[in-house]
Amino acid sequence: MKEFAGKKILIIVENLPVPFDRRVWQEAKALKEKGAEVYVICPKMKKYTKSFEIIEGIHIYRHPLPQAKGKLGYLLEYTSALFWEFFLSLKIYLKHRFHVIHGCNPPDLIFLVALPFKLLGVKYVFDHHDLCPELYEAKFEKKGKFYKLLLLAEKLTFKVADYIISTNESYKKIAIQRGKVHPNKVYVVRSAPDLSKFNIQLDNYNTEIYKKGSKYLIGYVGVIGEQEGLDLLMHVAKLLKDKESLRFAIIGEGPAWEKVKLLAKKLEVDDIVDFYGRVSDEELVKILSSCDVCVNPDKPCKMNELSTMNKIMEYMALKKPIVQFDLKEGRFSAQKASLYAKKGDTKDFAEKILTLLQNEKLRKKMGEYGYRRLINDLSWDKQKKNLWKLYRQVFN
């Protein structure tokens, strides 16, 4: 009999659908692997529009979610999400009697759904994906009353949770110091790519499709928001345009997507920057595999300083050398797989890219180092063991 047989876990995630949210999907499959029955509540987005389906034995319930625009938009989104999360949780509980609610932020409001179930003996595990107060500060460049409300929501989340999952040591420190959580109740489970999806198969297609006649290709994948620094990257492109034959491949979407495209046109780099939007995993691997260097232009701020970015792990999985600003968790993840520009210095960032483009041997050495580090220290096969360790404590 498998270790978690007979145990039932409800995972709630608000900001992305499953299985599109890779981390949540990996966690769900890891718990299912140990014999647990796993149920997921998430929003309907993009192509994930079915209200209910079972994928690989995991029951997925999806609900409608209005997209936030402005403060009233966020209020509507959160209110709608809480309603559906509670309604579906009650529906699932009446049928399946789950033992744990596993809530994934943002936002830090899922504890409100968990509270009434705790009265029935259900435990609450908080999976800390984002620092919501710092995320607000990074987006709006201010604190104020809303920032204080987010701190309160975070504090209440930590108080209600029986156990905390932190994505890195910086988040663990915040749970212990700011959240007053006992260290024995905080477990680090880092995000890591599914290596089965990140196989380099350059022989199977023509990389010139993405280079479009240029000698070099610079790649970026991720959200395109204010704090991700794509505006800084456009200025980097401006500095490099006349120095090398190169192109930039930008994969992803977000609230600043149109703004960044307009900036690229204003800076006259739109002829060397391709915006691919969201793409399939297969095309993502093809584009990034065609790149000579991959970049993480996240703006220096507390949120980015303390957060582990999935894009770094994906670059390392594909053996790509990286250039990023010198931020704490970015340096911890990549170590010698990356060159580090001075914080916010686009000229230094451009020079670091040039250093790599002009040294193929260094690019290969850094790429190999990153891949070995990912396999040996940061792979999901290692991280899921920490998740299992946590749940052994939960079920005890």
User: CATH number for the domain including 262?
Assistant: 3.40.50.2000
- Confidence at residue 329, expressed as pLDDT on a 0 to 100 scale: 97
Tell whether 83 and 206 lie within a shared domain. no
Q: For residue 35, give its domain range.
A: 8-192+380-395
- Confidence at residue 57, expressed as pLDDT on a 0 to 100 scale: 98
Tell whether 139 and 246 lie within a shared domain. no
- Confidence at residue 71, expressed as pLDDT on a 0 to 100 scale: 64
| 134 within a domain of the structure (yes/no) | yes
Relative to beta strand 58-63, strand 246-251 is: unpaired
- Confidence at residue 136, expressed as pLDDT on a 0 to 100 scale: 87
Q: Where are the beta strands (DSSP E) in the chain?
A: 8-13, 37-43, 52-55, 58-63, 100-104, 123-128, 163-166, 186-188, 216-221, 246-251, 273-277, 293-296, 322-325, 338-341
Question: How many angstroms separate the Cα of 94 from the Cα of each of 2, 117, 120, 185, 236?
Answer: 25, 11, 12, 29, 55
- Confidence at residue 70, expressed as pLDDT on a 0 to 100 scale: 64
- Confidence at residue 74, expressed as pLDDT on a 0 to 100 scale: 74
Tell whether 12 and 129 lie within a shared domain. yes
| 18 within a domain of the structure (yes/no) | yes
| 245 within a domain of the structure (yes/no) | yes
| 3 within a domain of the structure (yes/no) | no
pLDDT tens for each residue of the chain, 396 residues long: 799 999 999 999 998 999 999 999 999 999 999 999 999 999 998 889 999 999 999 999 999 988 766 667 677 888 999 999 999 999 999 999 999 999 999 999 999 999 999 999 999 999 999 999 998 888 887 888 889 999 999 999 999 999 999 999 999 999 999 999 999 999 999 999 888 777 665 555 566 889 999 999 999 999 999 899 999 999 999 999 999 999 999 999 988 999 999 999 999 999 999 999 989 888 999 999 999 999 999 999 999 999 999 999 999 999 999 999 999 999 999 999 999 999 999 999 999 999 999 999 999 999 999 999 999 999 999 999 999 999 999 998
Rounded CA gap, 235 and 347, in Å?
Answer: 9
pTM over 0.85: yes
| 2 within a domain of the structure (yes/no) | no
The span from the first CA to the last CA of the chain, in angstroms, equals 17
Tell whether 188 and 275 lie within a shared domain. no
Tell whether 28 and 109 lie within a shared domain. yes
Tell whether 169 and 229 lie within a shared domain. no
Tell whether 127 and 180 lie within a shared domain. yes
| 178 within a domain of the structure (yes/no) | yes
Number of structural domains, the chain? 2
**H helix or E strand, kind and range, residue 16:** none
Question: How many angstroms separate the Cα of 44 from the Cα of each of 64, 85, 130, 182, 239?
Answer: 5, 12, 21, 36, 41
Tell whether 187 and 41 lie within a shared domain. yes
Distance of CA 44 to the CA centre of its chain: 18
Tell whether 58 and 83 lie within a shared domain. yes
Rounded CA gap, 15 and 27, in Å?
Answer: 16
Neighbouring CB atoms inside 10 A of 167's CB total 22
| 261 within a domain of the structure (yes/no) | yes
Tell whether 123 and 239 lie within a shared domain. no
Tell whether 139 and 242 lie within a shared domain. no
Q: What is the C-alpha radius of gyration for the chain, rounded to an integer number of angstroms?
A: 21
Tell whether 185 and 261 lie within a shared domain. no
